[in-house]
């Protein structure tokens, strides 16, 4: 009997009929991808991009087992982004820059231990079995071929690691296109480019657009107010990584939170009376779980952003807005929806009180959607963030096969987040792991969505 048959047999034993509500909501994962960017993995701190082998393994173990990362490569990520498809649950990416030999000699064994495939970005002129002038030892083509045969993604970091923003158009073409051709001649696809020093400009994007590159990866995005890397097409040339040097201090910054940030992927935005982009003056009012908020100053100001859904169905969307009246509109795919307030005060920060509003949508198709908020009067309002919940019936359970990624099993609610006891009933518990990320008051006999941790899981009574 295979593992899937065993799981289904166990679930069949649990009788949820009398304790599960007919319908419940579960959170939809935001369109975001954590990308870790490593360089040297060695036993010393010679360079500011060096991480020790011990710290490296700690991070990989933490992300794999605590964050439950479902590891994919940049090449696999490109499939989801370019086809407007939802990424797998807890998808994460590991990348290595520059082709340092320590990646092969030290990092590779840890990847093998945790069964992870990564993306390696090479400076093609540096692929050699020799030390360079500053004492770095790079991989040769023999090591690169071993990585490729193991299933790792091989892509370009240009020829010589220049600052692309300081090069002419033709010089950029030489660095970007020639390095890709070198890799392709050796049968490596090189579907994405990592910008050396993280620097690029409009010429860079134009060259990428007319080439066969699919994605562009920049460097560190660790400051709390930075944009997070998005899996929506608008951000395919600006996929920022997280610097592992700061991981030990701020590991929570790479977590999935369940929230979409309006300022991260807006596709159009209104102007205030002075003609200044509203986003620029909104950066000074961040909230605790946001990178910024957007200011809609006057009547007619509107912000529009987008999101993906994997399946067709009914959804509820919660939006956080600093306006305690109804003189604004919420649209999804240009359809205006009636909204209702969830609480008198969601939170107060920097002198502004925010409220949570909800809309309910039936029969929303899978794929790409647009959501917008429009201010209908000359009174300032801030738009913070939003999250999405999908409705599911009590017999909801399915197995989804992801491309090259195996299976994700979605269980009935009572077995997914509450312990399975031999008497065939669901029990509440005081274990934080069974109550969402922060537990909250989720461990009483009953609780509402607000008490159930980051994700709003529903606690069931005995």
Taking only the tens place, the pLDDT of each residue in 432-452 is 333 332 333 333 333 333 333
Residue 111 belongs to domain with CATH number: 3.20.20.370
Domains in the chain: how many in total? 3
For position 397, what pLDDT does the model report?
37
109, 250: one domain: yes
251, 289: one domain: no
138, 245: one domain: yes
Q: Residue 252's pLDDT band (boundaries 50, 70, 90)?
A: confident
141, 239: one domain: yes
Contacts 24+ apart (CB under 8 A), 421-427: 424/13, 424/14, 424/15, 425/15, 425/19, 425/462, 426/14, 426/16, 426/19, 426/20, 426/460, 427/462
Cα–Cα distance, 404 to 390 (Å, whole number): 26
Contacts of 212 (CB under 8 A, 6+ apart): 180, 191
Average pLDDT over residues 115-136: 82
The domain boundary, picked from 190, 223, 255, lies at 255
Which has more confidence, 224 or 290?
A: 290
Strand duo 23-27 + 260-261: pairing: unpaired
Does residue 152 sit within a domain?
yes
Does residue 278 sit within a domain?
yes
Which has more confidence, 303 or 94?
A: 94
236, 331: one domain: no
244, 274: one domain: no
The C-alpha angle with vertex 326 and arms to 314 and 266, in degrees rounded to 5, equals 60
Does residue 400 sit within a domain?
no
pLDDT at 267 over 80: no
Q: What is the tens place of the pLDDT at every residue in 327-339?
A: 999 999 999 999 9
pLDDT at 377 over 80: yes
46, 160: one domain: yes
The domain boundary, picked from 223, 255, 287, lies at 255
For position 303, what pLDDT does the model report?
87
First-to-last CA distance in the chain?
Answer: 32
- Top-ranked range on mean pLDDT: pick from 301-315, 411-425, 436-450: 301-315
Both tokens of 250, joined, read: 């701020």
Cα–Cα distance, 430 to 21 (Å, whole number): 21
User: Domain containing 366: what range?
Assistant: 266-392
Q: What is the tens place of the pLDDT at every residue in 134-157?
A: 556 889 999 999 999 999 999 999
271, 251: one domain: no
201, 64: one domain: yes
Q: Residue 289's pLDDT band (boundaries 50, 70, 90)?
A: low
Strand duo 91-97 + 35-38: pairing: parallel
98, 236: one domain: yes
């Amino acid at each position: 009997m295979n593992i899937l048959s065993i799981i289904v047999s166990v679930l069949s034993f649990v009788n949820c009929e009398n304790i599960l509500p007919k319908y419940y909501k579960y959170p939809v994962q935001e369109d975001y991808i954590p990308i870790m960017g490593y360089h040297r993995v060695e036993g010393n701190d010679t360079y500011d991009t060096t991480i020790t082998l011990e710290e490296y393994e700690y991070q990989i173990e933490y992300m794999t087992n605590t964050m439950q990362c479902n590891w994919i490569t940049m090449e696999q990520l490109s499939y989801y982004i370019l086809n407007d498809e939802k990424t797998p649950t807890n998808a994460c990416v590991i990348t290595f820059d520059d082709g340092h030999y320590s990646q092969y000699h030290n990092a590779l064994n840890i990847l093998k231990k945790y069964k992870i495939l990564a993306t390696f970005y090479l400076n093609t002129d540096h692929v050699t079995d020799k030390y360079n002038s500053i004492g770095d030892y790079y991989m040769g083509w023999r090591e690169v071929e071993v990585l490729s045969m193991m299933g790792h993604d091989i892509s370009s970091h240009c020829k010589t690691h220049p600052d692309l923003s300081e090069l002419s158009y033709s010089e950029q073409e030489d660095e970007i296109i020639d390095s890709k051709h070198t890799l392709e001649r050796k049968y490596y696809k090189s579907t994405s480019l990592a910008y050396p020093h993280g620097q690029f400009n409009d010429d860079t994007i134009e060259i990428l657009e007319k080439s066969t590159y699919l994605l562009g990866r920049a460097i560190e995005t660790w400051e709390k107010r930075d944009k997070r890397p998005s899996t929506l097409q608008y951000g395919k040339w600006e996929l920022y990584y997280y610097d592992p040097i700061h991981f030990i201090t701020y590991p929570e910054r790479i977590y999935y939170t369940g929230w979409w940030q309006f300022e991260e992927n807006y596709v159009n935005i209104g102007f205030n009376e002075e003609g200044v982009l509203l986003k620029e003056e909104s950066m000074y009012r961040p909230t605790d779980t946001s990178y910024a908020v957007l200011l809609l100053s006057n009547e007619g100001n509107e912000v529009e952003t987008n999101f993906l859904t994997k399946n067709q169905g009914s959804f509820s969307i919660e939006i956080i807005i600093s306006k305690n009246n109804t003189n604004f509109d919420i649209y999804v795919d240009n359809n205006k929806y009636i909204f209702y307030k969830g609480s008198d005060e969601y939170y107060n920060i920097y002198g502004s009180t925010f409220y949570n509003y909800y809309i309910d949508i039936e029969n929303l198709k899978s794929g790409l959607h647009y959501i917008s908020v429009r201010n209908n009067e000359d009174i300032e309002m801030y738009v913070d963030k939003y999250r999405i919940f999908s409705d599911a019936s009590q017999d909801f359970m399915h197995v989804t096969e992801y491309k090259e990624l195996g299976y994700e099993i979605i269980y009935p609610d009572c077995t997914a987040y509450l312990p399975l006891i031999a008497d065939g009933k669901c029990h509440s518990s005081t274990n934080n792991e069974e109550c969402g990320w922060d537990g909250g008051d989720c461990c009483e006999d009953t609780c509402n969505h607000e008490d159930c941790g980051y994700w709003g899981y529903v606690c069931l009574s005995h």
